[in-house]
Structure 1
Amino acid sequence: MTPSQSPEVALRAQARAAFLHNHYHALPEQVTALDGDASFRRYFRIIHQGQSFILLDVAPEVGDVTAFVELNTMFSQGKIRVPHIIAADCALGFVLLEDLGAEHLADRLAKLSEVQGYYESLIDMLPDIARLPASPHMKPYDAAFIEMELDIFSEWLLTKWLGFEPAKVWCQQWTELKQALISNMLAQTQVTMHRDFHSRNLMWHNQQWVVIDYQDAVQGPVTYDVVSLLKDCYYRLPEAQLAHLQRYSFEVLREAGLLPPHSHFAEYQQQLALTGLQRHLKATGIFARLYLRDGKPGYLHNILPTLQYIYETAKCVDAFQWLATSLQSEIIPLVQAKLEQQK
């Protein structure tokens, strides 16, 4: 144990070394921690006998890798390319995976001439994900769960980070907005959704897309993965491309039989917009929570772009004009002031 290591960290490092030794019958030459995951999961790059692997490490007291392992099998059987699992110990919380490199969709978006093709190929994958069967390893994505996600915004972004104290009428309108968003999401065709289908969870490896971080998949609204991809918190599509890809996704889902018969594009756009509103409200709260609870300030700069998505949707819905006004006059200025303090 080094002087800076706590006993818990040292014990976990010992358990990690033991798992790797049991698999390789030797200690690997190199174990390097990888940064960047917005969760309790830790990843390490393992070099052994000239080959590279990735180790997923989730201490049992903070999480469980069982869903990761079981849903990996389900996605693979559904012809979705996910990382190959080489070895796993769910009780100890270790999964050894193939190394996919480091090129995500986010890294390829500088090639502007190819962006539309990338997105179309990824939208083409969504029916295969949607048709995957429900699994006991999926959490129920019901009204209570959707509301809990929305409350992350009010609790972590507004109250705990900004110290925002809404008036009574604001709270009443917030309750009505939550119910409207829940109703929209439950009224849609319910399918298997990845739930974080965005530019940092889609990797380019051996000339094909590989889906990672699928372990939180649930059965939920058919538009959810579309809006995760097209209104990404980490990358904003140009308006013309966004309009084209929304139409393209509508045609793909309709031809796959995943939308109700005689669906209209305008109704689909409304469902996309409201589903995106729910997702983006949750996401801004998560970015604040990552900072306050988990000591990860790296996601704070994603809050303003995500709030912009929320503002643009809210101002186009008569019943949500109050939220657009509140964002513009109160919430966004508070966020800007907080971010200035972080510099």
Structure 2
Amino acid sequence: MPQADTAKRFDALRRWVAESHSLPVDAFDLQLAAGDASFRRYFRLALPDGTTRMLMDAPPDQEDSRPFVEIARRWRAGGLPVPALHAVDLDAGFLELDDLGDTPLQNCFADDHHAATLDWHDRALDMIHELQNRAGPHDLPPYDATLLGRELALFPDWCLREWLGMPELPPGWSALRDALIASALAQPVVTVHRDFDAMNLMVHGERLYLIDFQDAVAGPISYDPISLLRGRYCRFPPERFAAWVEAFRQRAVADGRLPHAISAEAFLHQAQAMAAQRALKVLGIFCRLTLRDGREGYLQRLPHFLCHLEESLAGLPGHEAFHGWLIATFRPALEARLVAEGIESGARP
């Protein structure tokens, strides 16, 4: 957004707060708190009585805040830990929310093997169970074959063609694409946050809260667990990943979200396929954010998700051609391009 437009929206936001709270425009403090990968910005509001709130500025011509508002109200009514809405103006694109502080979950992690890191992941997985049990998938858009395919297309379109200049589809791509979509559609349908990564979980008063849930869909039961376990901040050994997936399966079977007939091996295969789909999507999205939207800091994360992708494919027999291309062709090309960009990632297989 041009600087002049940004200033105009900030002034409009300040006037909106003043009117909402019946205060003069200079009677409160308003400071930029954060931005994200969309056009949304967040400001911390400090009121004269010491109360603080978080304000979302979501330009309505670029961001539709209606899904966020509708989901927040439904989930909060269902007892889920989401921020309360104190004021909403969808026409202006302004929302006033609970202030959940400045501690996203990743700030609580030590190294990948530290007991505190593992414990926080256990607690986050508990929240996924709570989400799936308390929030029905009705009224959410379907995570269907069209959406899954569109997400997968981000990898050849943006990562290969636009960023790496590799116009040809990789060997085995069509078969892999079809298999990943089929695996996702074979799973029970639940409420899916769709970006259940540590950055979208806030730690406030030692409790976890959900944020950035506006893209929630009705989709595969394994999607949110793998978003967490193969997310931005940690890489866990295969045996640790498999143990978490199996514990999730057992609990989901016990409360009826998964059929008793699904074996540990079958569910782990579905989780690996879901993780591969998400890693491919993320590789494409991060390149698109860089090239189309001019965002910084995303290319550095590509090797991390490439490692996730390689680990996921290692658990999916039948896709050796694509897996071999990934190691022999794609990884060297990606690393060479990062060097040319002056970026060091440090992520290795």
TM-score, scaled to structure 1? 0.92
Partner SS state of residue 198, structure 2 = coil
Residue identity opposite 1:342 in structure 2: E
Matches within 5 A, 1:110-259: 110=110, 112-131=114-133, 132-136=135-139, 138-166=140-168, 170=170, 173-259=172-258
Alpha-carbon shift at residue 254 of structure 1 (Å): 1.4
Q: In 2, Cα distance between the equivalents of 1:36 and 1:242? A: 31
Judged with a 3 Å threshold, the aligned counterparts in structure 2 of structure 1 residues 192 and 83 are, in CA distance, closer, same or farther, namely same
Q: Which amino acid aligns with 1:123?
A: L
Contact 2:39 2:58 in 1 (8 A): yes
Partner of 1:107: 107
Moved more, 293-302 or 231-240: 231-240
Letter paired with 1:116: L
Shift of 1:277: 0.5
Paired residue secondary structure (1:307): helix
**Amino acid paired to 1:248:** A
Residues in 1 aligned to 2:115 and 2:4: alpha-carbon distance in whole angstroms? 51
Counterpart residue type for residue 163 of structure 1 = G
SS in 2 for 1:203: strand
Q: Secondary structure at the match of 2:110?
A: coil
Contact 2:137 2:189 (8 Å CA) reproduced: no
How far 1:218 sits from its partner (Å)? 0.6
The 1-side partners of 2:247 and 2:35 are apart by: 32
- Distance apart, 1:309 and its partner CA: 1.4
Which amino acid letter does the alignment assign opposite residue 275 of structure 1? M
Q: 1:205 to 1:287 in 2, by over 3 A?
A: same
Cα distance in 1 for residues equivalent to 2:339 and 2:47? 45
RMSD in angstroms over aligned alpha carbons? 1.9
> 1:123 touches 1:252 (CA, 8 Å); kept in 2?
no
2:345 aligns with none
Match of 1:87? 87
How many Å separate the matches in 2 of 1:185 and 1:315?
A: 18
Offset, 1:331? 1.5
User: 1:165-192 CA distances to partner (integer Å, 9 max, x unpaired)?
Assistant: 226xx36x32221111111011100111
Mapped partners of 1:239, 1:45: distance in 2: 40
TM-score, normalised to structure 2's length? 0.90
- Aligned counterparts of 1:301 and 1:119: Cα–Cα separation in 2: 24
SS of structure 1 residue aligned to 2:191: strand
Match of 2:97 in 1: 97
**Superposition pairs for residues 249-328 of structure 1, below 5 Å?**
249-328=248-327
> 3-state DSSP class of the match of 1:319?
coil
In 2, the alpha carbon distance for the partners of 1:261 and 1:238 equals 27
- Cα deviation, 1:34-71, whole Å, max 9, x if unaligned, reads 33512221111222213322111110110111111110
Looking at structure 2, the residues matched to 293 and 304 of structure 1 have their Cα atoms a distance apart, in angstroms, of 20
Structure 2: give runs of 5+ residues left out of the alignment.
Answer: 343-349
Counterpart of 1:77, as a letter, is A
- Partner Cα separation in structure 1 for residue 31 and residue 339 of structure 2: 33
Contact 1:119–1:245 at 8 Å: present in 2 too? no
CA–CA distance in structure 2, aligned partners of residues 254 and 123 of structure 1: 15
* Cα distance in 1 for residues equivalent to 2:311 and 2:110: 25
CA distance in 2, matches of 1:139, 1:47: 36
Residue of structure 2 equivalent to 1:70: 70
Segments of structure 1 that go 5 or more residues without pairing to the other structure are: none
